[in-house]
Structure 1
Amino acid sequence: MHLPARATIGVVSIIIRILVNAVALWAAVYLIDGINVGAATTAEKVVVYLIVGAIFGLVNAVIKPIVKTVGCAFYVLTLGLIALVVNALLLMLTAWVASALDLPFAIDGFWPAFWGAIVVAVVSWLLGLVLPEGDES
């Protein structure tokens, strides 16, 4: 089956986003105490990072716009700093979903999630600078 070029670009864009999320989550696990992946082998860890990266992408795609819309006044009042708290909570939600799916990804509270969300945002931003957007025609 042959997909149209636009659909292929969309699939590639999703794959790149999942890979970026996986690398960013790996960096957070590596740098922040309190964020852990309990897989035994490297292959299992890679699979966990990819699945959790997909979960994180879905959480951000579905819930973050709703939170931004409902909490627009808080974003304005705090000059956007509330976004740090929102990102930490979205990362904690990702860990909860991963736990519900029996994935060995855990966050030990708000502060590791807070610092982890900052690491994930910075790494994602840096990777976004060097990777193609994927939505070009």
Structure 2
Amino acid sequence: MSVLRPLDKLPGLNTATILLVGTEDALLQQLAEAMLKEDCTSELKVHLAKSLPLPSNVNRPRIDLIVFVVNLHSKHSLRNVEESLHHVDATFFLGKVSFLATGDRRLSSHHGAAPGPHAADLRRPCAQRLGPEPAVPAAEL
């Protein structure tokens, strides 16, 4: 088991390899199929993983982008991503890592409660007043 580094292997000619990391297999599979359906001049390869680290005995291609898929309503999903981040080299975070937040209106019952008391509020923007009086008077707006 090793840390993923962006320059471990040489890049392939006109190929890109994306690694999707997340706990929800059906969602990852659906995302991968949608990505592969897109018309592209280069060859796109998509690999799926439940978590990192990846087994070190596997002969895998160079990974060009890692997408961490987080379900906002699942503590397990969030914890999985947090633990997986320890197995990614810091230089990967310079344009080679992405986070995709998912979650529908129902709370997931089989993964535990939502990660925070206001996780449902992350779906929609809301304004919060920090003090009893506004920072800028309405007349100045």
> Shorter chain as normaliser: what TM range?
under 0.3
Q: Structure 2 length as normaliser, TM-score?
A: 0.21
- Structure of greater relative contact order (alpha carbons < 8 Å, 6+ residues apart): 1
Compare the two structures and name the one with the higher strand fraction: 2
Indicate the structure (1 or 2) with the bigger Cα radius of gyration. 2
Compare the two structures and name the one with the higher helix fraction: 1
